[in-house]
Amino acid sequence: MKEERKVEKHIRPTTFPQRKLMIETYQETHNISFSCRKAGLSINTFRRWYPRYLEQGIEGIREPKKRIRKNLGRVLEKYACRAIELKEKNPNWGRRTIASVIRGENNGKKVISPGGVQKVLERAGLWNKTNL
């Protein structure tokens, strides 16, 4: 039986000269497809960058927007406190055990990952390399 392999696409970020060429070509020709082909970009890229150009001018296409990753690595206070409490009561427990206990207390809902437990314990000064 063949094993399925998931192939991840790597999307190459666009450069300022590419975006500039695409927009300048579009302004000369009013042909989106041609402009994108000439710059080596997709039409979706045009749709993303052209409104920014209209709003902010050439400076608007110079740098990509900074993406803010929301809620990444944030643990709710009550789960962080519970992880600290469990570690203090059971110093031999590791991150997986603590995460599993907290999950059990929340009807099997994964509310904190083992990595989240480790981060909380590191911040609280309750984690060291031997806890792995």
pLDDT tens across 85-117, in order?
A: 999 999 999 999 999 999 999 999 889 999 999
Report residue 34's pLDDT band, with 50, 70 and 90 as the boundaries.
very high
Q: Is-contact 46 26, C-beta < 8 A?
A: yes
- The verdict on pTM exceeding 0.85 is no
- Provide the residue ranges of all domains of the chain, joining segments of one domain with +: 16-61, 77-131
Q: Are 95 and 117 in contact (CB under 8 A)?
A: yes
For residue 73, give every residue at least 6 positions away whose Cβ sits within 8 Å of its Cβ, in sequence order, or none.
Answer: 116, 119
Q: What is the 3-state secondary structure (H, E, C) of the chain?
A: CCCCCCCCCCCCCCCHHHHHHHHHHHHHHCCHHHHHHHHCCCHHHHHHHHHHHHHHHHHHHCCCCCCCCCCCCCCCHHHHHHHHHHHHHCCCCCHHHHHHHHHHHCCCCCCCCHHHHHHHHHHCCCCCHHHC
For the residues 36-64, what does the mean pLDDT come to?
91
